[in-house]
């Protein structure tokens, strides 16, 4: 199946992303000051670049784990059905946890993941999203920290894909279909 040709317009530069992650890391360090070890849970696949850059900025002991949840498949619209494709390897009961999400759109994925992880009784659970599209929200959920609030545009880059393409772009770009 071939895709329609599209163009990517840069929205957020690599430099702006790096500066925002540095600022957010200081806020996270304050919130988790005194923790023995922070379990940083990346939601795959879109968050892998963000989580790598974020944990390198954190001046905390961290353990990294991943959870893969899907509500998109290869499409541009959320299916609103969240499936857990890969669960955590670590036990998080009584531990400090930071969930790292690439983008909060409808909110279904983040809400589902937070409910699932809270049921495992972590000591503290906070969330961070690189991007937030509040105009698309369909459920009541908000990340503790947000990198950038963006309009209702389909975006790629910095780990975020469109049908498994464009994850390797160093910036966030808007997908546009020429007429």
Q: Is the residue at 26 inside a domain? A: yes
The active-site residue out of 96, 105, 140, 152 is: 105
pLDDT at residue 76, as a whole number: 52
Cα–Cα dist 45/48, whole Å: 6
Q: Is the residue at 170 inside a domain? A: no
pLDDT tops 90 at residue 12: yes
Q: Is the residue at 6 inside a domain? A: no
Sheet holding 124-132, edge to edge: 83-86, 62-70, 38-44, 96-104, 124-132, 145-149
The domain containing residue 140 runs over which residues?
14-151
Q: Is the residue at 75 inside a domain? A: yes
Q: How many helices (H) and strands (E) does the chain have?
A: 3, 9
**Per-residue pLDDT reduced to its tens digit, 102-157:** 999 999 999 999 999 999 999 999 999 999 999 999 999 999 999 999 999 999 99
pLDDT at residue 70, as a whole number: 74
Pair type for strands 124-132 and 155-156: unpaired
| Number of domains forming the structure of the chain | 1
What are the residues whose beta carbons fall under 8 Å from the beta carbon of 23, sequence distance 6 or more? none
Q: Is the residue at 113 inside a domain? A: yes
Lowest mean pLDDT among 1-15, 34-48, 124-138, 140-154: 1-15
105 is catalytic: yes
Q: Is the residue at 165 inside a domain? A: no
CATH of the domain at 116: 3.40.50.2020
pLDDT tops 90 at residue 51: yes
pLDDT at residue 1, as a whole number: 46
What is the band of 49 on the pLDDT scale with cuts at 50, 70, 90?
very high
Backbone angles phi, psi at 48, to 5 degrees: -60, -40
**Per-residue pLDDT reduced to its tens digit, 60-98:** 999 999 999 876 554 555 556 788 889 999 999 999 999
Please give, one letter per residue, the 3-state secondary structure of 84-140. Answer: EEECCCCCCCCCEEEEEEEEECCCHHHHHHHHHHHCCCCCEEEEEEEEECHHHCCCC
Give CA 112 to chain center in angstroms.
14
Cα–Cα dist 175/82, whole Å: 24
Which residue, among 171, 166, 168, 161, has the nearest Cα to 14 in the 3D structure? 171
Structure-derived torsion over alpha carbons of residues 105, 106, 109, 113, reported in degrees to the nearest 10: 100
C-alpha distances (whole Å) from 82 to each of 29, 111, 120, 155 are 30, 10, 18, 20
């Amino acid at each position: 199946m071939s895709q329609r040709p599209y163009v990517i317009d840069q929205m957020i530069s690599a430099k702006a992303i790096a500066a925002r992650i540095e600022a957010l890391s200081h806020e996270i360090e304050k919130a988790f000051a005194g923790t023995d070890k922070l379990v940083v849970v990346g939601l795959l696949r879109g968050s892998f670049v963000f989580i790598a850059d974020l944990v390198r900025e954190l001046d905390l002991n961290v353990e990294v784990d991943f959870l893969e949840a899907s509500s998109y498949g290869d499409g541009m619209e959320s299916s609103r059905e969240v499936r857990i494709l890969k669960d955590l390897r670590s036990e998080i009961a009584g531990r400090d946890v930071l969930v790292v999400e690439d983008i909060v759109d409808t909110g279904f994925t983040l809400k589902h993941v937070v409910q699932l992880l809270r049921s495992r009784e972590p000591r503290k659970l906070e969330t961070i999203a690189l991007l937030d599209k509040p105009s698309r929200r369909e459920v009541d959920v908000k990340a503790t920290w947000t990198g950038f609030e963006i309009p209702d545009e389909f975006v790629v880059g910095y780990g975020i894909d469109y049908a498994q393409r464009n994850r390797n772009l160093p910036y966030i770009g808007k997908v546009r279909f020429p007429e």
